[in-house]
Structure 1
Amino acid sequence: MDLRKLRYFVTVVQEKNYSKAAKILHISQPSLSNAIMKLEHEAGMKLLERNTRGLSLTEAGKIYYLKSKDLLRKFDNTLKELDEMKEIGNGKISVGLIESSKFWFPKVVKDFKLIYPNVHFQLKEILGYDQVINSLIHHDVHFAVTNQLIYDEEIILAPLYKEKLILLTPVEDTLNEKDSITIRDLAEKDFIICTTGFQTRENVLQAFKNENINPNIMYEIERFETACSLVEQGLGVTILPESYIKYNHNPNIATHTIHSDFLVRSVYLAYLKERYLSPAIFQLIAIMEEFFRNE
């Protein structure tokens, strides 16, 4: 299997144009066309249809394209892993983080640096379900801290900790006068919630569904700090993770615990099953797990 021809094929499909693909690949257009013809000959079938409207994949070409992309991804990732194996006590660790982890993760890194002072960190905020999977599969991060429930045969999901989801209200809201607050008390309130694709949204909606109540969703956000700003201005109420709240105190926001089996979330470590992880990365994970055992 000639990986060079596969890379040519994938680039042609993505650009839908031989001329553009040739420029990207730094080869002449005739050489590229010849390479694709040889690839089709080796495959024993036509992969691309060429007509006045441009290029399109045949049915066989569609399958060949997906398989080629996957094969090239795995090959490129293997090269990255081989480079990482050369780094002992140095190199770089890339970590995907949910927004609330920014409060505790630096404490973990501080302890880790006592053992591996020369390791560089690349920290990426990775929030949605697809973002987590893509960042792992494409080796953009070594592992991710996530609250997304991931079902993928290539990814291992290991529980890290559990935490409550806490209600936030404006400091002058009449709800603050109550001794206890229930989901039913929120039925008429303007509600602030994460956008579709965030696990926290699903947890909160399930809590409302359990009480046969539809929240009055007025604002959909991607970042918790945006939700806090809206609450601070008296524009609504929201429910956010406890780890975000306790390190982000705001005198203009009141917090409340609502007793519900659904207002709790699990946070996980997610990493590729077959990816090489260095001893330094395993040490970082061990320190992280120890941190939450002692919390």
Structure 2
Amino acid sequence: MELRQLKYFLKAKELLNFTEAARVLNISQSTLSQQIKQLENELDVPLFNRIGKRITLTEAGNLFSEYALQSIHRANEGFLLLQDLKNLNTGKITIGVIYSMRIPFAKTLIQFATHYPNIKIQVVFGTTKDLLEKLNLHQFDFVLTFHEKAKESHLNYHPLLSSNMVLVTAKKSSLAQKSMLSLNEVAKLPLALPFSGYSTIQFFEEVFSQKNLNPNICMEINDIPTLFEIVKTGQWHTILSDTSINDPDVVAIPIKGKNMRRTIMIISLKEAYEKKAVKKLYELLTTN
């Protein structure tokens, strides 16, 4: 059953004349008759009584016309909805973001929402592991995260920005005036680090291990704002990406080492349809 057949049927019902209906539809009468006959064969019931050159609607035709009209209306509504989606007048984007990206991403988010106020945006913060798992379950349009492991063939990877790993300490700390620290120095400090599952702690566990260092990890906390509050006491320090630092009471000290710079990626599923709204957000992310 095709929409054009329903349109042909409804026009013939309206005019009760195949010749006139064909003229209005700008098709031949034989085409109209053939399409309506195919529709009747598919439904296995006649829709019109044919009496010479006259036609009348059967009981089945009268009942079916209501549903045919609803189908046409719903299809038109769907077309208008898709046009709105294409023109960014409607739609929804769901994004997974690591905490380290909250500051730069917030700026882009405000800009996007200002330009496209009719697009609903859902942002979920989480660990790299959790975000990638949810992406694979099609729960996100894309995620923003660090990714140092081998690339998976079913995912798209687009480098977004590079970020330095830094020691975060209180502004009142004796370390605050340091211009740089070595990994050896960092390992000896009392550290409060993100909880297992955060890519930052996984990264530094590997880095410390490569240097045969045993860092003094006193706390693991799965909430970054709480980490900042701990650090502000001056008794503990943490390690984060420099993109996540935006607090006047702490300072970020670079850590020596060629591997202390990491890349944040835009990661999406290759097989997933890429919405126009998502493409526009990509553009803003890469130009900011």
Q: Same fold (TM over 0.5)?
A: yes
- Counterpart-to-counterpart distance in 2, 1:115 and 1:176: 40
User: Aligned partners of 1:214, 1:113: CA distance in 2, in Å?
Assistant: 45
8 A contact 2:145–2:266 mirrored in 1 = yes
Residue 206 of structure 1 aligns to which amino acid in structure 2? E
Counterpart amino acid of 2:267? A
Please tell me whether the aligned partners of residues 200 and 265 of structure 1 are also in contact (alpha carbons under 8 angstroms).
no
- Give how far 1:210 is off: 4.3
Q: How big is the shift at 1:235? A: 3.4
Q: Percent identity?
A: 25
Q: CA deviation at 1:190?
A: 1.3
- 1:224-243 mapped onto 2 (5 Å cutoff): 224-243=224-243
Residue matched to 1:249: 247
**What SS does structure 2 have at the residue aligned with 1:174?**
coil
8 Å CA contact 2:145, 2:264 repeated in 1: yes
> SS of the counterpart of 2:262?
strand
What is residue 125 of structure 2 aligned with on the other side? 125
Aligned amino acid, residue 112 of structure 2: F
Q: 1:254, CA displacement in angstroms?
A: 3.2
The one-letter code of the counterpart of 1:109 is: L
Contact 1:149 1:199 in 2 (8 A): no
**Secondary structure of the residue that 2:127 maps to in structure 1?**
coil
Q: Secondary structure at the match of 2:201?
A: helix
Aligned to 1:265: 262
Task: After TM superposition, list the pairs within 5 Å mapping 1:97-246 onto structure 2.
Answer: 97-113=97-113, 115-129=115-129, 131-149=130-148, 151-176=151-176, 178=178, 180-245=180-245
Amino acid in structure 1 at the alignment position of 2:159: P
Q: Which has the larger radius of gyration?
A: 2
Whichever residue aligns with residue 104 of structure 2, its letter is W
Question: Alpha-carbon deviation of 1:227?
Answer: 1.7
State the Cα distance separating 1:110 from its structure 2 match. Answer: 3.6
Local SS of the residue matching 1:187:
helix
1:275 to 248, 272, 275: 272
- Normalized against structure 1, the TM-score is what? 0.62
Give the aligned residue type for 1:185. E
Unaligned runs of 5+ in 1: 1-83
> Residue 95 of structure 1: CA displacement?
0.9
Distance 1:91 1:176 in 2: 47
Structure 2 residues not aligned, in runs of 5+: 1-80
Q: Secondary structure at the match of 1:95?
A: strand
**One-letter amino acid matched to 1:135:** K
**1:207 counterpart letter in structure 2:** V
The equivalences for 1:59-70 within 5 A come to: none
What residue identity is the alignment partner of 1:159? P
* Partner SS, residue 252 of structure 2: strand
- The alignment partner of 2:265 has SS state of strand
C-alpha displacement at 1:113, in angstroms? 4.0
Q: Secondary structure at the match of 1:209?
A: helix
Instruction: Specify whether residues 179 and 242 from structure 1 end up closer, same or farther in structure 2 by C-alpha distance, changes over 3 A only.
Output: closer
Structure 1 residues 274 and 237, CA gap change in structure 2 (3 angstroms): same
Query: What is the CA-CA distance between 1:260 and the residue it aligns to?
Result: 1.4
